[in-house]
Structure 1
Amino acid sequence: MSSDVLVVGQVPESVRAAVAGVVKALEQAFNDKDPVALSEQFAERTSWSNAIGIRLDDRKAIAEFSGPAMKSFLRDSYARYEIVKLLELAPRVIAVNVVQTPTDAAGETVDGPRGATLYVIAEQPDGWKIVVGQNTAVDAPAG
């Protein structure tokens, strides 16, 4: 995780590392076009609104939507996920702001919409998972 991350509240290093691991695994799953690995970063009971405004309310729904999407309109989409802020909401419940930058398959930045994403990541019986999130597509900055 970058040292430029704004941390608000008491977020121990071990929690920062766990949260960063979820975000990194989500990025890897997206770039690998692996809907199961992607969905496994979410809690069983979750609410996720994706960048096209579709709300998916559990891990199974995320996998079912992501599989066909990754084979069609997301087939050639890749991204780098960068955590920019961690906000402690409660013990072991962290709001995470992530900037998504479009890349090519090799990880080089390309033109295209970016993502401004908010995840709430909490410790669950099966590890740290996204319990709620919103992904917003934004235009690339000018110049």
Structure 2
Amino acid sequence: MTSDILVVGMISPETRTAVTGVVKRLEKAFNVKDPVALGEQYTEHASWTNARGTRLDGREAITEFSAPALKSFLHDSLARYDVVKMLEIAPDVIAVNVAQTPTDSAGNPVDGPWGRRST
């Protein structure tokens, strides 16, 4: 739901919807374990930090890291991704904070590493 997102800057409703759509496609790619679809959600020069604090820079690095991770230690992991903040850095450049919640197959939260916890 985009109304619960902290928006900093002049980000249009259309851009908010587009960014949220990218995050939901990322969630789907993670949950079906598709590293190519996951990587396609990032720009060529994106930076991404996973739930364990590992930062990866660039679409290629994200995809390369994701492929073996999704097939091994993340094989049985599912998650829900919710946009919690959008920050306009420059025109057409938006930083996005996403809360990653580990879930079961029905989407209910379970124990596991969280990408961000609300406090």
TM-score tier by shorter-chain length is 0.7 to 0.9
**Deviations 1:26-70, CA, capped at 9 Å, x for gaps:** 111111110000000111233333333444333222222211111
What's the TM-score, normalizing by structure 1? 0.73
Partner letter of residue 76 of structure 1? D
Partner of 1:126: none
8 Å CA contact retained: 2:101, 2:109: yes
Distance 2:102 2:50 in 1: 16
Partner of 2:21: 21
Q: SS in structure 1 opposite 2:73?
A: coil
8 Å CA contact retained: 2:52, 2:113: no
Distance 1:85 1:54 in 2: 20
Call closer, same or farther: CA 1:5–1:108 in 2, change over 3 Å: same
Distance 1:97 1:62 in 2: 17
Q: SS in structure 2 opposite 1:3?
A: helix
Corresponding pairs, count? 119
**Deviations 1:82-117, CA, capped at 9 Å, x for gaps:** 11122211111112121111101221211222112x
Distance 1:91 1:111 in 2: 38
Distance 1:54 1:101 in 2: 17
Distance 1:76 1:65 in 2: 17
Q: Which runs of 5+ in 1 are unaligned?
A: 117-137
RMSD: 2.0
8 Å CA contact retained: 2:44, 2:59: yes
What's the TM-score, normalizing by structure 2? 0.86
Q: Which runs of 5+ in 2 are unaligned?
A: none
Partner of 1:122: none
Give 1 or 2: higher strand fraction. Answer: 1
Q: Matched residues, percent identical?
A: 65
Give 1 or 2: higher helix fraction. Answer: 2
Call closer, same or farther: CA 1:88–1:113 in 2, change over 3 Å: same
Q: What pairs up with 1:1-12 in 2 under 5 angstroms?
A: 1-12=1-12
8 Å CA contact retained: 1:24, 1:81: yes
Q: SS in structure 2 opposite 1:39?
A: helix
Call closer, same or farther: CA 1:111–1:5 in 2, change over 3 Å: same
8 Å CA contact retained: 2:84, 2:98: yes
8 Å CA contact retained: 1:30, 1:38: yes
Partner letter of residue 25 of structure 2? A
